[in-house]
Structure 1
Amino acid sequence: FNPLVWHAAYPDSDGVMQAQLIGSGTPTFNVDAGLLLPDYQGVYVAISEDTPPWHGARWSGGVAYGTDGSGDPLDPLPSLYGAPSYTNSLTYSSDLTNAAWVKSGTGTAALDAAGLTGAPNTATTITDSDSGGETKFQNSLSPITANTNTHTVRFFLLKDSNTTRFPELGIYINTACRAFIHFNTQTGAITEVASRCAGTFSYEANVLHGAFGGAGGWEVLIQITNANYTSFVPSIEPAGGSVAGTISSTVTGSCVVGNVEAHFNKTIAQVRGSSPILTAASTVTTTAITDVHDSGNWVDTSGGLYCEVTLQVAQNILSTFLDVSGSTFRLNDGTNTATAAWVTNTAYQLGIAWDASAGTMAINVDGTWSSNATYDGTLLAGALDIFRSPAG
């Protein structure tokens, strides 16, 4: 492989990120208009339709740079984002003033806060001002199919320093099956409140340093495995208690909600870190985010490739020949496979090499080569697809 033949996802001499710096043909992208990706400071930026989905770039005048303001390279360099299709099944996901969100109690909701991108009046402040009762906001998706599938709800909350109240986040599956947590919006700590359910229940929180226009926020995920119930009601209470883990209806307070998502048949690992999906009157299903290059940049006879990747879920990396399955990187020519270990959400320096005359191929992870596998002489048929989804 000659790096002068094909070089992609790298800044040019002016620091501008190039989806293909050197190579034949013009790459194409399958990207929804408005795809939200963090810039180099973690601030969400809306990507234009079918343009390179840069993750971690410095944006100036609508141009993605791989350098800081003084011309030094960003560390890490921006990367191309790829993802399978997702569906947010909740409507009015960032507007909790809408009637889709049923309120109990005498609290209030106001669409008056800066949202995930920092745009004004795109996030909702929900308030419980009644010391005599609780205020919950719930968006019912009932009925759902009675099965034992796993579903995930994701909450985007503003990071703040308030520890006098703990928002209560959860999912009602049935009166006998509900899963709730208290969340510390200052530290990200989670305390389980209630899990009265035959299904399994898990949760996690991840800091978003630049969300809400740079103010910082949290991605909080709750996963539950259904137990053949037909109800599914995501719920949020701005002030669930003053002591984490202890429910109290007398506590008052507020929190800012940037977005809420319901992902059916998805685990936390499959949702974590994906682009936020905002909805209005209808649910939203995103397209699979892919990047397609000309196969003329590729030679089956012999060569090699180096790339840097971070995957949060097992999926294809390059076309059909380099992917992750289970906990394993796989280099597959359609007949034979070379493998190496993989761990989710870890940055890897990844290399592959193939040689038809020797009849061998191998995969290198962070400087360590796998054993040689037999190579049948053909890696690629058709275009070189980056982050093609497992479903094709």
Structure 2
Amino acid sequence: MIKDEEKQTGTLTRRASMADYLSPQVRSIKPSGIRRFFDLASGRKDIITLGVGEPDFVTPWHVREASVYALEMGKTQYTSNAGTPELREEIGIYLKREFDVAYDPAKEVLVTVGGSEAIDLALRALISPGDEILVPEPCYISYSPITALSGGVPVGVETFAKDQFKLTAESLKASITPRSKVLILCYPSNPTGGIMTYEDWMPIAKVVEEHDLIVISDEIYAELTYGSKHVSFASLPGMKDRTILVSGFSKAFAMTGWRIGYACGHPELISAMLKIHQYTVMCASNMAQIAALEALRNGMDEKNRMVESYNQRRRLIVQGFRDIGLQCHEPQGAFYAFPSIAGLGVTSEEFATGLLNEHNVAAVPGDVFGLGGEGHLRCSYATSVTLITEAIDRIGQYVRKLKEN
């Protein structure tokens, strides 16, 4: 139907600009705050980047070699939409062995283009317009925009440093309404490094059951824990069929650029996600799937060495922040520290901008991660000990300057 204001002697009024052609959902979404600071740092000399969540390790040689050999052998065709049977089977073996959750590779495992596609597929398969999606914050910045693009309404559930950024049943229940449908979890947490134990999870599982929620559990950092083994939400009694477990190879196996991930869950949920996957990307890269298979079969030693290196850097950066007078929750997972810059008289945005401009250290202001993020700074310690030491020194100089003013 032609709107009255668009009628003009039998012709439609032209839109004022190209932006007017865009969907309202896309227009309303802000660009990534992480990428903005990464782009600001790009090209600068003597820059230390603590901003982007990417391992500084190269994908192990035997993983790269497996993909190169497959390419030389001409394995360049499409695979099954759901992923190669070999990789899906190995994912099932791995999850059972490491996290005590069992999936049927034929019906309950879907290989995706990174964990990000898996999250997008899950939300698009579940959301009806107006559904509320519960998102514990501070959190990975993509959940709320993807929810909005799917027609859902993101609802932040704040977590706090005093609770080690754990989600509590009380906070979750206080955020639930009759329109609540999905709970998104990300533990170990980006950006806080917080984790959840079995005892922490049980009250959450009770709330999920009582309020008939579906859970999307982003467990991309599951392998990166220090002292406590990761507990998958899907492994809790009665939670497997309510949970879409999302993970991938980017963080634990240093395979960010390969864009290879997976989702596991109830056959009907996976089937619905597969329909969207078929019509959008067809299948994940054949060569990336071959590399992922090699990583699962023979990459555990390299993965363990990387985790031990992260643990060393974790201790260094947390102590470094405390030595320069910044309170810092001790992260128990992932590879991020989330120090508090509250009390310095500046916002997180102002602190990160000043630090970049005056001392050439790039970090991400906490406010981009949602509720509870303001007054913090996300710093990735997936970089060398030398650079972490120098970054702490530069941050200390900036903190002293702010305190003197």
The alignment's TM-score, normalised by the length of structure 2, stands at: 0.25
Q: Which has the higher contact order (CA 8 A, sep 6+)?
A: 2
Going by fraction, where is strand more abundant, 1 or 2? Answer: 1
The alignment's TM-score, normalised by the length of structure 1, stands at: 0.26
